[in-house]
Amino acid sequence: MSAMAPLSLAARLGRLIAIVIVFVVLGPPFGALVLVALVEGLAGLGGLDYSDRHWITVIDLIYAVPVSYWFGTGPAALAALAIGIRQAFFGRATWPMALAVGLVVAVVVLERSGGYPFGGAPSVDQPFPASSAIVMLACTVATMACWVLVRHWSVAPPSASDRASVESAS
């Protein structure tokens, strides 16, 4: 699906819906994988030996991936709408835009969950001070991964000559 013009409104909306589906289906598990990897890597598992650590990581993944849909579907849909509207109606979304969208979504997730994205007072519920950074990385990496999958699904905005030819045909 490379950039081409002009497409009908229905085709553009189809692109937007396809992008939202990719983000909603794949974004939460991508975020869960990043979250588990960072938590396991940074927090460690105390006195467990190396073989026990692998089993704990597998169990975390078994629970984290399905639960990620509960927490991540809304944020993934918001990121998808921002990137999808750009891709379907205004041309290709660039990586800086995808990065910015991922960071904004991460801040919204943290604010809504009671986290402190900018170093405010940590809550008692946070297991360690890096948890806000881990959530921000999980959201941002998941957004960027989904953007990589859909970055070529853009539609060029109609040029002035395209609009004139459509108007003269009607």
Q: What's the mean per-residue pLDDT of the chain?
A: 80
- Contact (Cβ atoms closer than 8 angstroms) between residue 12 and residue 88: yes
Give the type of residue at 66: P
Whether 3 is in a domain gets the answer: no
Whether 17 is in a domain gets the answer: yes
Split at pLDDT 50, 70, 90, the class of 168 is low
Whether 134 is in a domain gets the answer: yes
pLDDT tens digit sequence for 103-161: 999 988 888 777 665 555 555 555 545 678 888 999 999 999 999 999 998 877 766 55
pLDDT value for 156: 77
Whether 4 is in a domain gets the answer: no
Whether 1 is in a domain gets the answer: no
Listed residue (28, 157, 31, 136) closest to 85, CA to CA:
157
**Count of structural domains, the chain:** 1
pLDDT tens digit sequence for 11-69: 899 999 999 999 999 999 999 999 888 877 766 655 556 666 666 777 778 888 898 89
Whether 148 is in a domain gets the answer: yes
Q: How far apart are CA 84 and CA 150, in angstroms?
A: 9
- Contact (Cβ atoms closer than 8 angstroms) between residue 139 and residue 31: yes
Whether 2 is in a domain gets the answer: no
Whether 124 is in a domain gets the answer: yes
Q: In which domain, by residue range, is 124 found? A: 9-169
Residues 6+ apart with CB under 8 A from 45: 52, 53, 56
